[in-house]
């Protein structure tokens, strides 16, 4: 986590709205950055000052009376006039029926969107955890022929490992991780000082494919796609254009047999 990330997440951190990984990353940054720690203390003092009872002001009685709903029990109850538009009622009933039929589809679409959002949040949290000391890699190697065999016997599938050093994204190693309720392969690439985590796991249907989708979370870019029956998810704080370039190189390498 850098100072820009810390500034964006400071209020969420003080309000205890970050997940465990985000809170740990923020705490680690504050321990090592005097400027951000001072800013955090200043905001903490402001939070405490705003909680003082003396700042509370009760609304005047006239204002409360104006905005309090009034119920007049003596007022006559208006009787609705008999309807003279049966066709309008029939149309309304037909609309209601169509709405009821559409609700299951709407909820299914909402659920798929929520599931995708949860996956993105999981991936960003995993990326942040990996940046903590001794969490980034289980196997350290720039050689794809060393990294891929390391996963043998540790996963129920063989990940595709592509050498992208020539494209400016050297392989650094890999590790076991978990996303979407299952074990996945996490491959670690670098772009100068930036870390790119790539998560791979098999799709439910062999040969399944899905177009690339892009999301943003707290300064991190997440790219997701499916090729030839394998799900891919890449996370990094590198420039989004560079991450898209990385994804294109990875897809070409995995699709042309350069993966080992």
- The structure tokens 């190697």 sit at 141
16's CB contacts (< 8 A; 6+ apart) are 23
Q: Do the Cβ atoms of 129 and 21 come closer than 8 Å?
A: yes
- Average pLDDT for the chain: 80
Q: How far apart are CA 191 and CA 45, in angstroms?
A: 39
| CA distances from residue 155 to 98, 104, 150, 201 in whole angstroms, order as listed | 47, 36, 10, 9
| CA distances from residue 170 to 23, 82, 200 in whole angstroms, order as listed | 30, 77, 17
Of residues 68 and 257, more confidence is placed in 68
Enumerate the β-bridge partners of residue 183: 178
Binned at pLDDT 50, 70 and 90, residue 230 comes out as very high
Q: What is the pLDDT of residues 90-126, one digit of tens each?
A: 555 555 555 555 555 544 444 444 445 788 888 888 8
CATH superfamily of 116-255: MucB/RseB, C-terminal domain (3.30.200.100)
pTM of structure: 0.55
- What one-character-per-residue DSSP string does 103-121 give? HHHHHHHHHHHHHHHHHHH
Q: Do the Cβ atoms of 185 and 200 come closer than 8 Å?
A: yes
Asked if the model's pLDDT at residue 218 lies above 90, the reply is no
**Percent of the chain residues topping a pLDDT of 90:** 37
- The structure tokens 């850098």 sit at 2
Q: How far apart are CA 165 and CA 186, in angstroms?
A: 17
Q: Where are the domains of the chain?
A: 3-52, 116-255
What's the pLDDT score for residue 206?
86
Q: What is the pLDDT of residues 170-184, one digit of tens each?
A: 999 999 999 888 899
Longest dimension (CA), the chain: 86
Q: Do the Cβ atoms of 219 and 237 come closer than 8 Å?
A: yes
């Amino acid at each position: 986590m850098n100072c820009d990330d810390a500034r964006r997440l400071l209020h969420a951190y003080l309000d205890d709205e970050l997940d465990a990984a985000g809170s740990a990353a923020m705490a680690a940054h504050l321990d090592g950055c005097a400027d951000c720690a001072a800013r955090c203390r200043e905001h903490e003092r402001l939070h405490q000052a705003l909680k003082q009872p003396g700042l509370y002001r009760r609304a005047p009685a006239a204002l409360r009376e104006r905005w309090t709903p009034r119920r007049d029990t003596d007022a006559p109850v208006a009787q609705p006039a008999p309807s003279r538009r049966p066709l309008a009622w029939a149309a309304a009933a037909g609309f209601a029926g169509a709405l009821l039929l559409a609700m299951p589809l709407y909820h299914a679409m909402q659920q798929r969107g929520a599931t995708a959002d949860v996956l993105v949040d999981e991936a960003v949290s995993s990326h942040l955890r990996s940046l903590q000391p001794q969490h980034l890699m289980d196997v350290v190697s720039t050689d794809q022929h060393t990294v891929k065999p390391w996963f043998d016997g540790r996963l129920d599938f063989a990940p595709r490992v592509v050498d992208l050093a020539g494209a400016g994204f050297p392989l650094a190693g890999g590790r076991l991780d978990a996303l979407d309720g299952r074990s996945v392969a996490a491959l670690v690439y670098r772009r100068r000082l930036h870390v790119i985590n790539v998560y791979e796991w098999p799709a439910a249907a062999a040969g399944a494919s899905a177009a690339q989708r892009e999301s943003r979370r707290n300064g991190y870019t997440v790219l997701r796609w499916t090729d030839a029956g394998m799900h891919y998810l890449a996370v990094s704080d590198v420039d989004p254009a560079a991450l898209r370039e990385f994804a294109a190189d990875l897809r070409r390498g995995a699709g042309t047999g350069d993966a080992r």
